[in-house]
Structure 1
Amino acid sequence: MNAVLVAVVLMLVLSVARLHVMLSMIVAAFVGGWIAGMDIETTLKAFNTGIGGGAGIALSYALLGGFAVAISLSGLPHLLAQKILTSIGGEQHQRDSDTFWLRNALLLGLMVIAVSSQNIIPIHIAFIPILVPPLLLVMTRLQLDRRLVACVLTFGLVTPYMFLPIGFGNIYLNDILLANVGSAGLETKGISAMSAMGIPALGMLIGLLIAALYTYRKPRSYDLAAIEQAEHIDQEFSAKSLWVAAAAIVLAFVVQLYLGSMVLGAMAGFLLFSATGVIRWKDSDGVLVDGMKMMASIGFIMIAASGFAEVIKTTGHIDSLVNGASSWLGDNKALAAFLLLMVGLVLTMGIGSSFSTIPIIAAIYVPLCIQLGFSPLAIVALVGTAGALGDAGSPASDSTLGPTAGLNADGQHNHMTDTVIPTFIHFNLPLLAAGWVAAMVL
């Protein structure tokens, strides 16, 4: 029995059964270690070693939460919501056509920003806790289904790096994918990663269109009072606080962009609020604690995910999972492509990072694919897709944790049922099919 497969499946089953994702990962990690023959001490040591890797991201989200609360206290979210609603005649006079265009403009804008966060302004998920909570009021007035927003954000976070060789895409496609495929014995000179990953990226687009045009097209209602309480709508705001909020957002992005640290970016923005008196010094502790509470669940999931991934690697069963799949293949290229993609899906959903999956699978996948007669372009597509599979739809991935952090600011968006399951269905399944097609036709 393969410990990696059991651990990942158990983690997913427990999470879907409404056990908290963090607890699901801890239970699954120790079950996986037990199946692999590891004693409690060895499993615990591996888990504790791994959780250090998630601490930095968790701290970043804690500070971003405090920063987001400070922004809400400045009045900028309420002003933004009111300006958008006023542009279509106010909440009592919205026409269906106005609502339709505003809904789509909002979704398109979020997607453009998410795509840009991977290349033009490579800040990844740092923008979500700052930008999305202020828009929850607008989304609710428009009865916009947040599951669709989660799909839009995840699409913007994943598809650019697996197709566009810019920013994070350059790291994934060139520094990781082509480099590891080349190290495994495939001549990559003259191979275009964009050409290899074009069909898989098309699968992601098809999944997004299905979510937008069919699955989540109907209006969905949320509790407006909860949002108004979270955004402090009953308070009065000054022009000074609005200008400081705008400056703090710019400062946070600039610091994050040039220093590469979400922690320092969020801290700089929060300190500007305190230094200018928008957040009184005696209140700053309470504001920061409120933000940490808002992001606590996400942060602890990230920490637990790093520990879970380390236990998976320590079991030594990753190689046996891949080799076990290869023993079923024979000379059947179609079956080989499908099984190798499924293994990639399981590994990435467990590890939570497609960037970490490629180095693990490339050394085994490439010689096997060469032996089976796949073309160089097909091999790159197969390995690249196998790595990206599971990034969307994984409870442990920042591509799902990020959207949840923003959309659940008022407590009305569940990580598993409203982010993980929708993104798994609409992205992993089409990506699996598109990756298989790419492997067979390229």
Structure 2
Amino acid sequence: MNAVLLSIAILFALSLCRVHIVMAMLISAVAAGLAGGLGVTPTIDVFTEGLKDNASIALSYALLGAFAAALTETGLPERIVHRAGLLVGRKQAGAQTGHITRFAVVLAIAFMACLSQNVVPVHIAFIPVLIPPLLGLFNSLHIDRRAIANALTFGLIMPYMLIPVGFGAIFHETVASNMTQNGLQVDASMLPRAMLIPAMGMIAGLLIATFLSYRKARNYSSSQTTSDPFVAGQNASIQADTVPTAAKKGSTRMTIAGLLSIAVMLTVQLSTGSMIYGAGAGLAILLLAKIMPRDRSDRVFSDGMRSMAYIGFVMMSAAGFGAVLRATGDIESLVQACASFVGDNRAFAAILMLAIGLLVTLGIGSSFSTIPLIATVFVPLAMKLGFSPLATVSLIGTAAALGDAGSPASDSTLGPTAGLNADGHHDHIWDTCVPTFLHYNVPLLIFGFIAAMLL
């Protein structure tokens, strides 16, 4: 049996049975190595060597977690949540707008997530800062967190597919360069037009998740959350009025320090291209501002790093798993087998190419890493079958993006889970991976096929 298909089947079976994702990837990697003829020891060596590919990403996420924890000491996230609670509370006090308010909050989260890919390209760095303080508000409004997970994943994927800025510029250039290397001259400027129809599939998935699948109220237990956001906002306002003037001055100073640290983090990250240096610079500002005592800072940093260490370990394990899949050589054989199977049937070929992209990305957990793997064979096959350059671009881009949503090893699902599970009431597989898989991969398959046939 093909090692890729076998290992991914094992990975998802173990994940759905609630086996920890790191352990599931370890077992699946060994299965892939044995099925691919590598043997146990070479498989372990390849897996271990592959871990270093995402080591810097793991450190980046750990430092971002520390920065997020330190930022909460300034009270800035709580102030944002307080303002949001007052705004929502006033609206609900005037009329029965429960559904409308929930829809507005979900779409606002999706919009903010979109900004993290292009306008302020910090990727998932905003999630541990913004989402945990908002959980109380979500509970007050009885928002189904699966809707929030879909909104976050949408914002982490759709913008880089369509908009050639920030991470989108990297994705578009990666697709164009790999297609050019494999015999089809393509310019990155073609990507927005080619990916417009598949992006519409993502938008359709977001609307279905928001207005149909998860529109109903859902209750989460929370001892710190009142059921009425207006009351919560009024209580917070009363408490604020009783704060001494000296404390208010200190809060103002801490708020300014928090805003300055965010500005410095973004500036350093954008100028250096490194999340590590960006998070480090933000932490330095907070330390210099003496937001917290030295004896407390160590504990805050450690707790923050621990909160994001989970994502780092999963990403490192995903890199090792992907290295084993590539070492087996079965990715190429899977693509070649499908190429010989479809013959001259363009429609069948388009479906199979998209399905293979889905499988590969689900296993590796990175759409960016999938592009070089599938472009090698997909480009010559598409040219042979007579697909236009624009249709070929759409096929490659959609096949790479497929699987980013729903993959247990993707940061597009790990990030939302890290934020939404801060209080232990959100499951990674059943509340993030399965909902995002159904609402985004299925529409991407349909709209990607339509794009390949029309362009």
Q: TM-score, normalised by structure 1?
A: 0.92
Q: Which residue of structure 1 lines up, in the alignment, with residue 433 of structure 2? A: 420
In structure 1, what is the Cα distance between the partners aligned to 2:187 and 2:407? 33
Query: Is contact 2:117–2:168 with CA below 8 Å preserved after alignment?
Result: yes
In structure 2, what is the Cα distance between the partners aligned to 1:85 and 1:310? 46
In structure 2, what is the Cα distance between the partners aligned to 1:106 and 1:156? 14
Give the letter for the 2:22 counterpart: M
Q: Which residue of structure 2 lines up, in the alignment, with residue 78 of structure 1? A: 78
Query: Is contact 2:140–2:225 with CA below 8 Å preserved after alignment?
Result: no
Stretches of structure 2 lacking an aligned partner (at least 5 in a row): 227-235
In structure 2, what is the Cα distance between the partners aligned to 1:88 and 1:178? 45
Query: Is contact 2:124–2:415 with CA below 8 Å preserved after alignment?
Result: yes
Q: Mapping of 1:189-338 within 5 angstroms?
A: 192-225=190-223, 238-239=250-251, 240-338=253-351
Larger mean CA deviation between 287-296 and 26-35 belongs to 287-296
Classify 1:30/1:278 alpha carbon distance in 2 versus 1 (closer, same or farther; 3 Å). same
Larger mean CA deviation between 85-94 and 215-224 belongs to 85-94
Q: 1:49 Cα deviation (Å)?
A: 1.1
Match of 1:188 among 178, 182, 186: 186
Query: Is contact 1:60–1:266 with CA below 8 Å preserved after alignment?
Result: yes
Match of 2:382 among 357, 369, 377: 369
Q: Mapping of 1:384-403 within 5 angstroms?
A: 384-403=397-416
Q: Mapping of 1:23-172 within 5 angstroms?
A: 23-89=23-89, 93=93, 95-97=95-97, 99-172=98-171
Query: Is contact 2:149–2:417 with CA below 8 Å preserved after alignment?
Result: yes
Q: Deviations over 1:14-40 (max 9, x none)?
A: 111100111111110011001111122
Q: TM-score, normalised by structure 2?
A: 0.90
In structure 2, what is the Cα distance between the partners aligned to 1:398 and 1:336? 29
Query: Is contact 2:58–2:315 with CA below 8 Å preserved after alignment?
Result: yes
Q: 1:253 Cα deviation (Å)?
A: 2.2
Q: 1:71 Cα deviation (Å)?
A: 2.5
Q: 1:190 Cα deviation (Å)?
A: 10
Q: Deviations over 1:331-369 (max 9, x none)?
A: 221111111111111111111111111111112111112
Query: Is contact 1:274–1:280 with CA below 8 Å preserved after alignment?
Result: no
In structure 1, what is the Cα distance between the partners aligned to 2:347 and 2:299? 58
Q: Across the two proteins, how many residue pairs are aligned to each other?
A: 436
Give the letter for the 2:221 counterpart: D
Q: Deviations over 1:109-166 (max 9, x none)?
A: 3222222222222222222211222222221211111111111111111111111222
Q: Alignment partner of 2:341: what SS?
A: coil
Give aligned-pair identity as a percent. 47
Q: Deviations over 1:189-231 (max 9, x none)?
A: 6972222211111111111111011001111122223779xxx
Stretches of structure 1 lacking an aligned partner (at least 5 in a row): none
Larger mean CA deviation between 365-374 and 64-73 belongs to 64-73
Larger mean CA deviation between 392-401 and 247-256 belongs to 247-256
Larger mean CA deviation between 320-329 and 271-280 belongs to 271-280
Give the letter for the 1:277 counterpart: K
Q: Alignment partner of 1:327: what SS?
A: helix
Q: Which residue of structure 1 lines up, in the alignment, with residue 233 of structure 2? A: none
Q: Which residue of structure 1 lines up, in the alignment, with residue 231 of structure 2? A: none
Larger mean CA deviation between 177-186 and 396-405 belongs to 177-186
Q: 1:91 Cα deviation (Å)?
A: 10
Query: Is contact 2:176–2:187 with CA below 8 Å preserved after alignment?
Result: no
Classify 1:278/1:227 alpha carbon distance in 2 versus 1 (closer, same or farther; 3 Å). farther
Q: Which residue of structure 1 lines up, in the alignment, with residue 368 of structure 2? A: 355
Classify 1:66/1:171 alpha carbon distance in 2 versus 1 (closer, same or farther; 3 Å). closer
Query: Is contact 2:77–2:129 with CA below 8 Å preserved after alignment?
Result: no
Give the letter for the 1:152 counterpart: A
Q: Which residue of structure 1 lines up, in the alignment, with residue 392 of structure 2? A: 379
In structure 1, what is the Cα distance between the partners aligned to 2:209 and 2:380? 37
Q: Deviations over 1:224-262 (max 9, x none)?
A: 23779xxxx999874133332232222222222222222
Query: Is contact 1:7–1:31 with CA below 8 Å preserved after alignment?
Result: yes
Classify 1:48/1:190 alpha carbon distance in 2 versus 1 (closer, same or farther; 3 Å). closer
In structure 1, what is the Cα distance between the partners aligned to 2:449 and 2:323? 29
Give the letter for the 1:44 counterpart: I
In structure 1, what is the Cα distance between the partners aligned to 2:147 and 2:136? 16
Q: Which residue of structure 2 lines up, in the alignment, with residue 15 of structure 1? A: 15
Classify 1:190/1:392 alpha carbon distance in 2 versus 1 (closer, same or farther; 3 Å). closer
Q: Which residue of structure 1 lines up, in the alignment, with residue 232 of structure 2? A: none
Query: Is contact 1:191–1:377 with CA below 8 Å preserved after alignment?
Result: no
Q: 1:320 Cα deviation (Å)?
A: 0.5
In structure 2, what is the Cα distance between the partners aligned to 1:303 and 1:401? 13
In structure 2, what is the Cα distance between the partners aligned to 1:89 and 1:341? 45
Q: 1:325 Cα deviation (Å)?
A: 1.2
In structure 2, what is the Cα distance between the partners aligned to 1:102 and 1:59? 37
Give the letter for the 1:324 counterpart: A
Q: Deviations over 1:85-113 (max 9, x none)?
A: 2224469947422x445434433332222
Give the letter for the 1:418 counterpart: D
Q: Deviations over 1:383-437 (max 9, x none)?
A: 1111111111111111111211222222222211111111100000110111111
In structure 2, what is the Cα distance between the partners aligned to 1:415 and 1:249? 28
Query: Is contact 1:15–1:24 with CA below 8 Å preserved after alignment?
Result: yes
In structure 2, what is the Cα distance between the partners aligned to 1:241 and 1:223? 31
Query: Is contact 2:50–2:323 with CA below 8 Å preserved after alignment?
Result: yes
